[in-house]
Each structure stands twice: as structure tokens, then as C-alpha cells.
Structure 1
Amino acid sequence: MRLSLCLLTIASGVAAPALAEEVFPATLAGHAYLPALSLVEPPADAPRDAWVSGKFTGGARNDMPMSVMGNVGKNYGGHETGIALPFIGQPVQGMSGFAMTPAADGSWYTLTDNGFGNKRNSPDALLFFHRMAPDFEAGTVERRETVFLRDPDRKVPFRIAYEGTESRYLTGADFDTESIQVLGEEVFIGDEFGPYLIRAGLDGVVKEVYATMLDGQELHGPDTYSVYVPASAGSDFQVQRSGGYEGMALQPGTDLLWAMLEKPILLDGGETEGPFLRVIQFDPNAGDWTGDSVKFALAEGATAIGDFNFIDETRALVIERDNGEGYAALACAEGAADTSACYPRPALVKNIVLVDTSDVDSDGYMRRIGHIDLLDIADPDGKAIAGLAPEEGPFTFPFFTIEDVVRVDETHILVANDNNLPFSGGREIGKAAHNEFILLSVPELLAAE
């Protein structure tokens, strides 16, 4: 096994030493994908507005389907993605969380995020979760069920986009849904806007919405309904935009939810409290926060996390990542003016970290046991799908947002990306990323203590 030095620098007056963290091998055991342009019909009782989604991604209304080409943005090379907005129907895209517990038929509960990336551009993007089953022999992913979130009992504490409708379906202007767990006949969903914790039935009907409490204070993000412009970072809101509950793990044995913020909390003045993330415990049985929290230290170069799931009563997996996208071998030269055939910000840090939640130091940090590198995956048996792998070298998962991980058995984990349709690439310049599902053999990682 290889060793690498992972420098963890802790703020708030505490500096952690350089840690020798073990890097475990990962081998590709299966590869499947859901095509990028996968759409689903809205429910029959949804507003007609929902039949064409993405009408507001350019700011002003655009009712002409497939008229504006998707683009990764100038910071990522300005590459077009080959898929145009608005869509007829709702995009299945953007897998943003796996539930730890599979469905009775063996499929996995997975969540689609808020639609098109932010509160303003997603009022016609419905919110939903699915049951999906990857077939690694065929290389395909079957969507067995889609459940749309709705609020007929008016449990949401603010005006929703479809407030005046009878069906009251929720949209990406209401919540940014990023993490999911299933407990009994209920589903719990972590939101980034509030940040909120949403409690709903498996039929998608909202039962309760919980505001976040940390150290006796209610946390707010800049998109919380009660925050008004002008607002001061750190005082009026403490959670960064797109920094709410990206990961939320369900602990076996206790049924406690451990909700992890995606980005560091803001202090007065707008500075972050350090390169670490807060993990806040919620008790579904009591319907309240326990008052306990811990910290997850980010590795050097990592800026956020993508998912968080337990593998047993105390150990859990966390996806940590940078903001890069694309193969490092195709990185642009420094200062390059022409980025049409290269990646100006290639993927460099894409890890799955094993942590021990029962081993917390005096400063509140969970112990990092080790990690695998998603940019260095062995593929001796040629499991990678043709065209969805580097031309040479190890198999990699070079996506901007990798937001799904779950333990499958004692030696395997399942990983998937959020493709931010139609705004992310990663595999091929000029082509939108698919939702890829990879099965990884990682026996050493899962056995590590």
C-alpha cells in the first residue's frame, strides 16, 4: 500500500501536524451510465409550467425548447456541452446523494439536486428522488421509480414557487436537495438553501421541515427566506452559498442522522472558521437536533465534500473534492489564451475518505483513517466502458461534482457523479457528462481501522 502526506491545517487557533495518511488501492469492478439527456414527465397534476424546464437559466424567460446551448463556463474553458436548454420534461440528471439502505428490490434510493444550480434559475425544476439499479453487465442504469416532492399540508415555512397550485409540488427555487436517507417509511433529505432537513413520506409528501441548530444558534444561508439584502456574511448568514447539507449519514444502531455541511462556516467579517466542515447530529425519533456536533478536516487542496455514508456503527465514507474538472493530462498550459482543446482547471483532488466517528480528538475532529484516490483506479479487467475512460493510464473519475457513495458489501462501494446538466463535462471536451455509476473493489479501505 502507498503512503502520502496529507497536510491538514486546522483553524480556530489549533494547528494540526502533518499526518501520514494511508492511500488504499481501488480497482474498477463495474461501470454503467445513465445518458446525460435523460428526461422524465412531470406528474399529471403538476402545473403546465413544469412541462418545459430550464426556461430561466439565462435570467430572462426563454420558452423555446433546446434553443440555448449548454456551456461549462469561462473558468472551465468555455466549452459547449452539446445539450441545449430549455428541456421538454424534467431532467433526471444530477445524482446528488445515495441512501445507505437499498430498496427491497435491491435498487438504490438516489436524489436529483435542485435543477440548474441555484435558486433563481430553477423555479420550473421539480424536486424528486428515485430508485435506480445499475446493471454492470450491460453498462446501463434502470430508473425504476421517481417520486416527486410536494407540500399539500403546507409544512414548508415560506412561500413556494407553486404556492397557488393545489398539488404544491416543490421546485429548485424552494430547496436545493443534496443528501438523502431512508428510515422505515420515511425519507430524510438535506437541503443547502436553509440549510434545512426535510422529512417526508416515501410518497414524497412533506411532513416537517427543520431549521438547523448549532451550538444554540439557528444557522442561515444567503438563500434562507428570512435573510434579506443587504446581508453581512458571518452575522446575517453563517453558511456559504451552496454550502449546506451535501452529505447526511444514517448511523446504524442509533438511527441518528449526521448532517455534514459542504463548505466551512463563515465568521463575522466573511472569513471561514477554517478548512473543516461541521457535522451536526439530528435525532429523527425526537424530531430535533441532539446538540452534538463534530468536525471533518479537509485535505490540502480539497474545497468541499460530496456525500457521507456509514459503513458500520462507527466508520463512514466521505467524498472530498476540489473544484476541478477534466483530465490532468489535458490541462491547459499556464496562461493559455486558447482553451478550446484543454482543461484550465483539471481535476486534482477527488478522494473517498474513511473516517472513524467514534474517535474524536479534543478539538472535535473525527479521525481520518485513510482514503482512495478516484483519479487513480486500476482497471486490469477492462471494465471501463469504451469512450468513458482515459486513452492511457489508470481509470479516473475526473468530474467537478462527485456526490454519491455507498457501501455495497464487505469489499465493494458504489460511486456516482452529479453531471450538473447541461453545464459540466469532464470526460470529453465539448460533450456533457453522463451520470456514471462505478463499482469499486476496495477491500483494504473497508477493512481499515
Structure 2
Amino acid sequence: MLRRLLLASTVSALALSTAIAEEHPAKLAGHVVLPAATFIDAPADAPADLKTSGKFSTGPTRVEALGSVEGKSRGRPTGLKVPFKGQPVQGHSGIKRMADGTFWVIIDNGFGSKANSPDAALFLNQYRMEWDKGTVERLKTIFLHDPDKKIPFRIVHEGTEKRYLTGADLDLEGFQIIGDKIWIGEEFGPYIIRTDMNGKVEALFETLSDGKPVRSPDHYTVTAANPGASNASVNLRRSKGYEGFAASKDGKFIYGMLEGPLWDAEKKDWESVDGKTVLRIIEFSVADEKWTGRHWKYLLEPGASAIGDFNMIDATTALVIERDDKEGTADKACPEGKKATDCFDDIAKFKRIVKIEMTDANAGAAVRKVGYIDLMKIQDPDKKARKPLNNGVLTFPFFTIENVD
């Protein structure tokens, strides 16, 4: 999912101690921009199909003429034309700051779905953020591949030697580097994928919560039900698998956070608490390579529809992006009752970074929301922003914001 800009901004706030989720001011500490029209070549030994990308991004019919179709976001032209020569480096779906000050960032599934991303390669990039210049330097790229056939289902490049993975195989949404391994949270299954530091897949783990499998309609074992019939094995909506993927600071546990609620078969309803949608945070033991049986509940606030990312900042507290599914700012809003390609008819209102507390005491229950900052009103007194402000503040009015650490 391409974005016009990568706003890899560092926000200083959330030094919080209050008992309720109060709003706290956000101050911009740094801002870099990575142009959307940034591309890299597929590996030299990759199939020819990966040398270009986006051939199916506009529908099920193949488009091969490079740059012949303009991409759109909810009907609005983006200025980028597909198919592309090479692979776009955006959009990003998970980030980790390393001890040396560089950042590893993982790619999303490509163009938004299994169906339209068979020529989107999956990879991680290591970046150096040049805060003083406002630019981004790419240092290294790791392409995911499965030569040992650890992925149990058929992949797009099944019969090739290297078996490079694509956005039709997996939807990568978060990762952790623990020791010399990369642990990846995947949304289609949802699954956990473990690779080495060269991107070679070593293992795939199914998801369990309360000892029961968690499966979306895109899980490889699921087949479409006949008309009028339900599929009892599915308990998660499509595209609602892992969206946040955190790890304890000691690297002993991974916390996979679902983007949508689980289906409660007994109540015949989606999981909720006090009328609020529940997103489960499920604990996985790295050493045992097993689910511990513990989980926490993240409750979406009224006006929010999903989370975008999740990372621990110490032993018991974490940051979560909580958002609505709207985009655009008031100065670019459509006139009342009008929809057009040059304005936004449903502007962004709820874009937050929330600090939460999850402990042994609240395992199995709701996390404590300590406080939050509003990404629609980031103060910029030091004039660090590299895009125009809205009413004197920097805003993140994007449909989805997917990186926090």
C-alpha cells in the first residue's frame, strides 16, 4: 500500500504517570521524508515476474505496459503509475530502532490483498535516518525466501530454487530481531514466521489463543463454504490478523496483537467488553516456541476502528497506534454531501499513539491505557517539519499509520 510520503517522525511525549488515558502534548523531534517513487531491483536470481511489480494491482486482469495505469487511493489519483520497474520500497508495516541508531523496516504485502500482490516481493530494509537533512539512506535489503519449503502451503514461486516470497503468499505486519533470528507477525493466517538474518524461512507457527486455533478466511486450510453455510473453523475476519507485533525487552516473549476481534461462537458475536471491541494480545515463548496460554485485551475507543502498530518500551509498558479508517484534513475536505477525486469526503479524526500497561496482574483482562498523544496535532516549535502544517501543527491524516517504536 503506497503512500506519498514516509513520515518517519520521532515524537517526544508520553512521559506519563496518570491513572487514566489522558491526552498529552506531542512535540516533533525529527522528520525525514522517503518519496513514494523509490524503487529497488529484485534479486538477480529472482524470477522475471519480480523484475516488475503492480501488474495486477488494479484488478484481476494483467497489465504489462509499464507506467500505463495511474494508481488511485479511494478514487483519488496518486500521481504514481503502475506497473513499476522494480519493487517499491513502501508501504512499511513495522519498524525497529537498533542500538546503532539505524532502523529496520518491513514491507507490507504489496498492493493490499492476496489477489493483487503476486508480483510484490517481501523484504526488510535497513535505513539510516538523516534527521539533519530530512532524508533516508537505505543500507541493506533482506528478501524473504523459502528454499527448504518450511511454508506448508503452495507459494507463487513454488517450483523455483530460491522460492522468493510474495504478497500473495504472506502479509507481513510486524517483526522482532531476537539474537540472530527475525520473527515476523503475519496477517493472512495469521502465522508467526521465523527466518535467519538473510531472510531464509526456518519455521512457521500457527496461532493459538485459549488453546484454540485462530484462523481467518485466508488461512491455507480454509475453503469457501457453500452458499448459506458457515465455516466453523474461521474465527477472525479477513485482513484482521497480526497488525502489532511486539517483544519483551529481554527477548523471551513475543506479543502478537490482532487487528480485529475474535468470533465468540457461544455468544454468536465478536468479542467485546463493555461495548468496546476487543483486540487480543497473545503471548508466545521464544525459547519454547509455543504459546503460553496468556493474553491481554486491548479495547478500541469509540471512533477508532483498528490499530496500526505496537511495541514494548520497557518490561510492562508499550506504545500502540490506535486509529480510525478515515483520511485527509479539513482544508482539503469535500463540500458537504459531495464526493470527488480532488477532495476528502470523510476526513481523519482519530489518530493516536497510546501508552498502555500490561502486567501479570491484568493478564486475561483489559490493558491499562495510561495516556495518549494526538497525531493530528503535533506541535512544531522548532520548525522541524518537512511538509506544510495544518493550522500550525503537523498532522498524520493517513488512512493507516503503521510504524511506532
- In structure 1, the residue matched to 2:30 is 30
Q: TM-score, normalising length from structure 2?
A: 0.90
Residue pairs, 1:4-403, within 5 angstroms: 21-57=21-57, 58-73=59-74, 78-99=75-96, 102=98, 105-230=100-225, 235-253=232-250, 255-268=252-265, 271-274=269-272, 275-336=277-338, 338-358=339-359, 360-361=361-362, 364-385=365-386, 388-403=387-402
Counterparts of 2:271 and 2:119, CA distance in 1: 35
Is contact 2:20-2:370 (8 Å) kept?
Answer: no
User: What are the superposed Cα offsets for residues 204-233 of structure 1, whole Å, 9 maximum, x if unpaired?
Assistant: 000000010111111111111111112766
Which residue matches 1:446? Answer: none
Q: C-alpha distance in 2, partners of 1:227/1:270?
A: 20
Q: Distance in 2 between matches of 1:362 and 1:293?
A: 6
The Cα offsets for residues 90-136 of structure 1, whole Å up to 9 and x where unpaired, read as 1101110013x51x542111101010100011111110011112111
Query: Equivalent residue of 1:346, what SS?
Result: coil
Q: Give the alignment's Cα RMSD to 1 decimal.
A: 1.8
Q: 2:324·2:399 contact (CA, 8 Å) conserved in 1?
A: yes
- Provide the rounded CA distance (Å) in 1 between the counterparts of 2:181 and 2:300: 31
- AA partner of residue 113 (structure 1): D
Looking at structure 1, the residues matched to 28 and 345 of structure 2 have their Cα atoms a distance apart, in angstroms, of 27
Q: Helix, strand or coil for the counterpart of 1:405?
A: coil
2:142–2:198 CA contact under 8 A, matched in 1:
yes
Contact 2:216 2:241 (8 Å CA) reproduced = yes
Between the aligned partners of 2:251 and 2:83, the Cα distance in structure 1 is 44
Amino acid at match of 2:120: A
Aligned residues: 379
Deviations 1:307-330 (A, max 9, x none): 111111111000011001111333
Identical positions, percent = 46
CA shift for structure 1 position 341: 3.4
The change in CA–CA distance for 1:62 and 1:238 in structure 2 (over 3 A counts) is: same
CA distance in 2, matches of 1:187, 1:318: 21
Superposed displacement of residue 21, structure 1: 2.4
> Aligned AA for 2:157?
Y
Cα distance, 1:302–1:204 mapped onto 2, change above 3 Å: same
User: What is the distance in 2 between the residues matched to 1:149 and 1:143?
Assistant: 17
Could you tell me whether the CA contact under 8 Å between 1:234 and 1:267 is conserved in 2?
no
Contact 1:234 1:270 survives alignment (8 Å): no
Q: Structure 1: how far apart are the matches of 2:288 and 2:340? A: 53
- The answer as to whether partners of 1:235 and 1:267 remain within 8 angstroms in 2 is no
**Inter-CA distance 293–363: structure 2 relative to 1 (3 Å threshold):** closer
Q: Is the 8 A contact 1:359 1:367 kept in 2?
A: no
The separation in 2 between residues aligned to 1:363 and 1:111, in whole angstroms, is 30
Aligned to 1:435: none
Partner SS for 1:49: helix
CA-to-partner distance for each residue in 1:29-77, whole Å, 9 max, x for gaps?
111111101111001111011011111122111111111111112xxxx
Q: Which has the higher contact order (CA 8 A, sep 6+)?
A: 1
Question: Which secondary structure state, in structure 1, belongs to the residue aligned with residue 32 of structure 2?
Answer: strand
Q: Is the 8 A contact 2:307 2:323 kept in 1?
A: yes
> How far 1:22 sits from its partner (Å)?
0.9
Structure 2: any 5+ residue segments left out of the alignment?
A: 1-18
- Greater displacement, 42-51 / 389-398: 389-398
Which consecutive residues of structure 1, in runs of 5 or more, have no partner in the other structure? Answer: 1-18, 407-449
TM-score scaled by length of structure 1: 0.81
Q: Distance in 2 between matches of 1:200 and 1:210?
A: 12
| Cα distance in 2, alignment partners of residues 250 and 53 from structure 1 | 32
Find the residue that maps to 1:404 and give its secondary structure: coil
CA-to-aligned-CA distance 1:333-389 (integer Å, 9 cap, x gap): 3321x423321121111100000111754861111101000001101111111xx23
- Note if contact 1:234-1:266 (Cα within 8 Å) is conserved in structure 2: no
